[in-house]
Amino acid sequence: MTQLAWLIPIFPLVGFLINALWGKKLSKSASGIAGSAAVLASFVIALGIFLGSHSESFQPVTVKLFDWISAGTLNIPFEFLIDQFALMMLLIVTGIGFLIHVYSIGYMHDDEGFQRFFSYLNLFIFFMLLLVMGNNYLIVFIGWEGVGLCSYLLIGFWYKNQAYNDAAKKAFIMNRIGDLGFLLGLFLMAKTFGTLTFSEVFEASKAYSTDSSMMIAITVLLFIGAIGKSAQLPLYTWLPDAMAGPTPVSALIHAATMVTAGIYLIARSNPLFSAAPFTQNIILVVGLLTAIFAATIGLKQNDIKKVLAYSTVSQLGFMFIALGLGAYTTAFFHVTTHAFFKALLFLGAGSVIHAMGGEQDIRFMGGLKDKIPTTYKTFLIGTIAIAGIPPLAGFFSKDEILAFAFGRSPFIWALGAIASMVTAFYMFRLLFLTFFGEFRGSRHQLEHLHESPASMTVPLMVLAGLSIMGGFMGVPEVLGGSHWLKEYLSPVFGISLSAEAAHLSHTTEYMLMAVAVALAAAMILYAKSLYVTKGVLPEQNEINIKGYAKVLYHKYYIDELYDKFVVQPMSALSGFLYRFVEVKFVDGIVNGLGQLAMGIAQNLRLLQTGATGFYIFIMVISIIAALFLQVF
């Protein structure tokens, strides 16, 4: 089926055009079905190619559509690469994307912008597929910018709300900072290697020694791009604010598409990063700091979506830890399991918000497990998975990252374990405050509590199943598994996951698993004792929050610091440049030339009197002057 691969991004593009051009003429049901069917068609083709990729005869396929750019020695064709890595990403993007589309039919049913919403979703999927399938960095960059544009449109979907518009602009601008790094890296690769095609770049890079200045420069620039797109320190603050968009958007951005783009870029460029250990160490440090930093912020957040947003930032930190350790398959393994349980958690949060009539503050929830049982049970599964409790998906992938961290340094493992432990606590805090205890909302909300429709709960159940079973694709050998994912991706990333892996004995691996699970279990029990047994509730008034808890509540005041030291100075500088450079200098020159021309014209206009005698007089004077000049 590889000859049909070019259709994978085409179907969502067609879905976008249908809803964008004819959406007003379609019913909401027809619009939702058209958008969902487009993504389903892409998934079916990707699945067909994936099933055929298990044969020993399968080889990566390049699908060339046309010659694109030719400038001197630089030739960039428009072509797709279909290999094992691309196929796994395609299944995640289209599979989870389809479930989110189906969920959106119910969630957005009463919204006046229903058709516009589905057109944006389809366009988002199209650009993400372009990013994943591109066989060169330029096509990846087009998809990269496309998902950035779509995130702006979706985060600011409810554009009549100024706060949502500000959140959309924040996401767009902060991503442009990272994108500048990616773009500069792209230019440097084109100049250095004379090509942007993956295989040719990787082959040309072999001429440079390990940690050469050129390899460090290129990889650092690509990493800057990944920092922006995958919300790592210091460019992470846009992601929590992205919660302004409808909940299905949060699931799409945080689970299956945009935030994984940075992970994909580095993993796809693994030959370059493997030749730059200096950059890998930077990635490792940034991932560690982000994982712990974001996890601690999640401890004191009360918006159900904000808690999940910071958990996403933290889990992305874990993926960067794996990338920094050179464990590319492990990083992608966590991308996969995270896509399952994070999509489940966000859509579950959407179901809670739907039942609560739009309420997102967990301080006004409680006691919902009997009111919305399907949502509760599936949300519980997602929470157990992200906490790293076996045998759910999160346990296998997170444990593998921690094992590689221990192989590098017990200190790195300890920091990762702390982040994992904190994750278990704040996620079960979220679960207990939302679904247990007495209901703390209004009487009106209580009277209207209801389970979500099937279009919303069926995707939850499917994702719950994937969150339970997804980890078994990477069962380690120490537990009797063959780590199917490692074998499947070995043509892309190599046979060995990481050099440190071979140094761990089975006893050490068992010990690390036991400690990680024990820490998570202890945090779960502690959260239960606080929020269920003792009935502790978050402070209703910010004044009552003291000490370090207040710092966490205000997210370490990072947004305030950015506003004071970046936004306000830039705003003042922009105002100065506008008033004195734009208005007085640029406009002054332009307007001054116009006024000069008008003044000259006004004076010349005096010669046009309309009197024939005056014109004859001028002609005579002119003739006399000409004769005088000729004679003398």
User: Mind listing the pLDDT tens digit for each residue in 431-455?
Assistant: 999 999 999 999 999 998 999 999 9
pLDDT band at 87 (very low <50, low <70, confident <90, very high): very high
Instruction: Using alpha carbons, select from 45, 43, 15 the residue that is nearest to residue 30.
Output: 15
Cα(34)–Cα(53) distance, integer angstroms: 29
Q: How many residues does the chain have?
A: 632
pLDDT of residue 319: 97
- On the question of pLDDT at 501 being above 80, the answer is no
The amino acid at residue 264 is: Y
The amino acid at residue 8 is: I
Query: pLDDT, tens digit, for every residue of 378-408?
Result: 999 999 999 999 999 999 999 999 999 999 9
- The DSSP secondary structure of 502-548, one letter per residue, reads GG--HHHHHHHHHHHHHHHHHHHHHHHIIIIIS-----SSGGG--HH
Instruction: Using alpha carbons, select from 375, 357, 377, 383 the residue that is nearest to residue 454.
Output: 375
Residues of the chain with pLDDT > 90: what percent?
81
Cα(332)–Cα(325) distance, integer angstroms: 13
Q: Is 188 helix (H, G, I), strand (E, B) or coil?
A: helix
- Written as six digits, the tokens of 381 are 């599964």
Q: Around Cβ 157, how many Cβ atoms within 10 Å?
A: 20
- On the question of pLDDT at 57 being above 90, the answer is no
Mean per-residue pLDDT, 259-282: 96
Cα(433)–Cα(426) distance, integer angstroms: 10
Exposed, middle or buried, 619 (CB in 10 Å: 0-12/13-18/19+)? exposed
Cα(551)–Cα(546) distance, integer angstroms: 8
- Written as six digits, the tokens of 326 are 């050179």
Mean per-residue pLDDT, 584-609: 86
pLDDT of residue 499: 42
Yes or no: say if 237 and 562 are a contact pair by the CB < 8 Å rule. yes
Write the CB contacts of 59 (distance below 8 Å, at least 6 apart in sequence). none
Cα(130)–Cα(145) distance, integer angstroms: 11
Cα(363)–Cα(354) distance, integer angstroms: 16
Query: Quick one: which H or E segment has residue 405?
Result: helix 393-408
Write the CB contacts of 466 (distance below 8 Å, at least 6 apart in sequence). 340, 344, 393
**75: which strand partners?**
70
Sign of the dihedral through C-alpha 268, 173, 19, 112: positive
pLDDT band at 167 (very low <50, low <70, confident <90, very high): very high
- Written as six digits, the tokens of 103 are 């969920």
197: which DSSP letter?
B
pLDDT band at 495 (very low <50, low <70, confident <90, very high): low
Share the mean pLDDT of the chain.
Answer: 93
Query: pLDDT, tens digit, for every residue of 310-338?
Result: 999 999 999 999 999 999 999 999 999 99
pLDDT of residue 481: 82
- On the question of pLDDT at 500 being above 60, the answer is no
- Written as six digits, the tokens of 423 are 């994750």
Query: pLDDT, tens digit, for every residue of 533-578?
Result: 999 999 888 788 889 999 999 999 999 999 999 999 999 999 999 9
Calculate the alpha carbon distances from 14 to 6, 35, 39, 258, 264 in Å.
13, 9, 10, 21, 25
pLDDT of residue 331: 96
- Helix ranges (DSSP H) in 73-113: 84-107
- On the question of pLDDT at 498 being above 50, the answer is no
- On the question of pLDDT at 496 being above 50, the answer is no
Yes or no: say if 174 and 235 are a contact pair by the CB < 8 Å rule. yes
pLDDT band at 461 (very low <50, low <70, confident <90, very high): very high
* CA Rg value for the chain: 30
Cα(285)–Cα(631) distance, integer angstroms: 90
Exposed, middle or buried, 14 (CB in 10 Å: 0-12/13-18/19+)? middle
pLDDT of residue 402: 96
Write the CB contacts of 330 (distance below 8 Å, at least 6 apart in sequence). 322, 397, 400, 401, 404, 497, 498
Instruction: Using alpha carbons, select from 134, 148, 237 the residue that is nearest to residue 186.
Output: 134
Query: pLDDT, tens digit, for every residue of 246-269?
Result: 999 989 887 768 899 999 999 999
Mean per-residue pLDDT, 199-208: 95
pLDDT of residue 494: 78
